[in-house]
Structure 1
Amino acid sequence: MSAQSRQVRKRRVFHIPGYDPMPPRRYRELYRTEGAAQADISGYEIGVKADRSDDTFRWTVGARIDGRSVLAQIDVLVWADIVRDSMAQSIPATYWQLVQTAWTYIGTGTLRRLMWMRKGPVIAALYPVMMLLGQLILALVVGSLVGGWAQGLIMGALALVGVTEGAFFDVVAWMAWAIGWLLLIGIVVVLLRWFKAQDNKLFAHYLMHDYAYSAKKRGETPSELQARMTAFTAIIAEALAMDGDEVLIVGHSSGVHLAVSIIADLIRGGHLRDDGPKLAFLSLGQVVPMVSFLPRARRLRSDLAFLSTRDDITWVDVSAPGDGCCFALCDPVAVTGVAPEGKRWPLVISAAFTQSLSSARWKELRWRFFRLHFQYLCAFDQPKDYDYFQITAGPILLADRYAGRKPSGSRIHVPVSKYTSLLP
């Protein structure tokens, strides 16, 4: 089939975000601003218009690239409210989550195996543990010093006036002890609350809630999220039943493993048509092993194995070693240890941040770890073969764009996970 006959004129895009409490309009505005920036850099036209949907957050995109016009409709899976609810924890509850999550990853041996691959995401996982423990230790030290100082001051005053024993001494000594403890507790509470108020800069509580949400059922999908995924699957099924050239599912960060299960359900449900839109999957900055390596992630492991052999989809996995928050260039099927005979997907490639961003831009972003984790959805000032906006709003199918593309030579594709059991 010629490239001309396979031109995309109409595309449906379904974006599945990761664990993010921000409202979905953030993704529309990011698309609007970064798309305009990429269009200026790469010399094409792109425009974004707000749209309405009762079940998703939606916008439409009109683009003219290489002289060809494309209309795309983008729908976002809304689960920011679930994220916010899971983050509505008291400070003591967050520390209890820390204990439970650490026990899950350490006790199952998962953390040790994750460290065999990329250190970046493991450091990112340990960061909230160390930061929260550091905050607690600092608060206890400051509280102890102030409480001890106050207690010593009171006892020193008694000694100064010559009171060293008797009933009055005992009462004042008890009061000094109580004041010391009250100051200790009060300062710990105040400091821990202050630290939490700074979490928009420190991200310790946010990351702790993120990892705790994935680990609380040891790899099983929480029921409230599964309900949203089921409803979103039905919407994608409707798109596959309509006219169009491509249905593209984009998973970002922890949204990747949600997308894997959604796509597997679509295929098992018989929603792909030979004469219908092509189904494509773009996974970005994936953290699949954080879930697939857990003991109860049997459904996810089964879905990974199932998708990896399909000839009716295209699955391209994009990451970058410069993104310390993802398992860069780790084949999620292979490292999970469920690669079957005849495995085809995913095609694992690098966004090559150090090459596709100018040296000045890379220097500006290099230590902004969370911003870099979203770079896949942003403009590159020296783009190579990865351009998010041409993929989502351009005239070429994902399958054609990367036809013949070899996987990254530095990818990790050996079995690592201890747990490889599948659903019956």
Structure 2
Amino acid sequence: MPEEARHTVKTRQMFYIPGYDPVPPRRYRELYRKEGAEQAEISGYQLKLVPKARGVEYFGWGVESEIDGKFTKTEAQVLFWADIVQTSMDQNIARTYLLLLTTAWEYIGSGALFGLMKLRIGPVLAALYPVAMLLVQLFLALGLAAAAYFLSVQYLHWLSGLIAAPLILIGLLTWFKRKDAHLFAYYLMHDYGYSARFKGENPPELELRMAGFADRIAHALQSDVDEVLVVGHSSGAHLAVSILADLIRQGRVPDHGPRLALLTLGQVIPMVSFLRNASRLRGDLNFLCQQKCLSWVDVSAPSDGATFALCDPVSVSGVAPENGKIHPLVLSAAFTQTLSEARQKEIKNKFFRLHFQYLCAFDLPKEYDYFKITAGPEFLADRFARRNHSPSRISRAVNPHTSMSG
């Protein structure tokens, strides 16, 4: 086989693992279609979405590309767990405030919060935002309820005060919850509370879903594609780590099968790995970072306040092996260099839009191009073979909890 052919991806199976996001998987297809077309126009290559392969029962789509004169066909699947997210978010106001207390206690009482503050302040502030916003809402509602009670007692009757106060309290808190599509306090509280509720352990329903994801990836590894690429975004990054660690331990990665690659984007792994009972995740990080049967690239950007940008998830979690590690390669998407000033200004104050920029087009693209990586002719390992870690990589171990299992 010619040397060029051995280093060219003609067929790829890509699995995308979303973060804690309640939206249906078609959102990711439409995002890929829209942003992929824009990136192809900017960068001068051909990219188009086609129907998924016949007989595939899972949600996905096909991608055909021509980049640098080379043709590649990719099958993409979304490893969908939004239904679990939706169920976890289906909590009333009282239970959400109880979740606030238990989550705050877990991060503060275990020392996890103080370890995280030594890394990046942005994601810590993002984690504190729902706590502060929900408390502000509660105090405002209590203040107005108290005012209504005293005014009713003074000018009407004490009984009217007993009726008016709780009605105003409940009514105002309900109004705030209905406005959460703009405030995101409840959404973020449920996000951080989902992991904290079990102190870093995966809930049983999530472990079961992850086992199903592993089966789908294992099936692809038995196929004749050139590369199996797993992409974990945000909270999906730590799921990807554990899923691939399980696959390798179980001996389900064939020696002569497709090349296996992991791309983690905008990861928030420390938010989980720093919790006291996250020994499973810490063990998976320790194990995966030593495996030669895959490549692993971690991409983030300091401009994204929702990620632990350039924090090596293995090293900062305190589980890097003493004899050294292979993975991950930690790189910056460098939003300030790869996005024009006009584009930066457009999305600057859009918290979630920034966090999804990794999946979008760059109008001043450099090495990181999501669509070349997921649909182009280069293997992930080859694309970044000559790259070193970003100079701003953070690798100091600051996790107060380093127990491991696996």
Residue 404 (structure 1) shift: 1.3
Aligned: 1:194 with 2:175? yes
Distance 2:320 2:58 in 1: 33
Distance 1:5 1:205 in 2: 49
Partner of 2:50: 49
SS of the residue 2:403 aligns to: coil
Distance 2:214 2:96 in 1: 32
Distance 1:380 1:185 in 2: 51
Distance 1:327 1:356 in 2: 19
Partner of 1:185: 166
SS of the residue 1:239 aligns to: helix
Output the aligned Cα RMSD.
1.3
Trace 1:51-70 onto structure 2 (pairs within 5 A). 51=52, 56-70=58-72
Unaligned runs of 5+ in 2: none
Segment of structure 1 superposing worse, 77-86 or 271-280:
271-280
Distance 1:106 1:73 in 2: 43
1:23-56 deviation per Cα after TM superposition (whole angstroms, max 9, x unaligned): 1111111001000111111111111134377763
Which letter maps to 1:95? Y
Residue 181 (structure 1) shift: 2.5
Distance 1:215 1:111 in 2: 12
Partner of 2:368: 386
Residue 2 (structure 1) shift: 3.5
In structure 2, do the counterparts of structure 1 residues 409 and 80 end up closer, same or farther at CA, with 3 Å as the change threshold? same
Trace 1:173-322 onto structure 2 (pairs within 5 A). 176-322=157-303
Partner of 1:173: none
Unaligned runs of 5+ in 1: 155-175
SS of the residue 1:304 aligns to: helix
1:368-406 deviation per Cα after TM superposition (whole angstroms, max 9, x unaligned): 111100000000111110000000000000000000101
Distance 1:54 1:140 in 2: 54
Trace 1:9-408 onto structure 2 (pairs within 5 A). 9-51=10-52, 56-154=58-156, 176-340=157-321, 341-408=323-390
Distance 1:392 1:321 in 2: 23
Distance 2:119 2:16 in 1: 27
Distance 1:329 1:117 in 2: 10
Distance 1:99 1:359 in 2: 41
In structure 2, do the counterparts of structure 1 residues 253 and 53 end up closer, same or farther at CA, with 3 Å as the change threshold? farther
Partner of 1:157: none
Distance 1:54 1:206 in 2: 33
Which letter maps to 1:346? P
Identity of matched residues, %: 58
Distance 1:229 1:53 in 2: 22
Distance 2:122 2:160 in 1: 45
SS of the residue 1:236 aligns to: helix
Residue 320 (structure 1) shift: 0.2
Residue 342 (structure 1) shift: 2.5
In structure 2, do the counterparts of structure 1 residues 7 and 352 end up closer, same or farther at CA, with 3 Å as the change threshold? same
Which letter maps to 1:411? R
Distance 1:178 1:242 in 2: 73
Structure 2 length-normalised TM: 0.97
Q: Is the 8 A contact 2:152 2:158 kept in 1?
A: no
Residue 344 (structure 1) shift: 1.2
Distance 1:56 1:108 in 2: 40
Residue 6 (structure 1) shift: 1.2
Segment of structure 1 superposing worse, 145-154 or 286-295:
145-154
Distance 1:181 1:144 in 2: 10
Q: Is the 8 A contact 1:316 1:349 kept in 2?
A: yes
SS of the residue 1:181 aligns to: helix
1:230-287 deviation per Cα after TM superposition (whole angstroms, max 9, x unaligned): 0110111010011011000000000000000100111112122232110000000000
- Which one has a bigger Cα radius of gyration? 1
Which letter maps to 1:63? S
Segment of structure 1 superposing worse, 244-253 or 49-58:
49-58
Which letter maps to 1:272? V
Q: Is the 8 A contact 1:56 1:78 kept in 2?
A: no
Residue 4 (structure 1) shift: 4.1
1:294-326 deviation per Cα after TM superposition (whole angstroms, max 9, x unaligned): 111111111101111111111000000000001
Structure 1 length-normalised TM: 0.93
Number of equivalent positions: 403
Which letter maps to 2:61? W
Q: Is the 8 A contact 2:224 2:257 kept in 1?
A: yes
Partner of 1:159: none
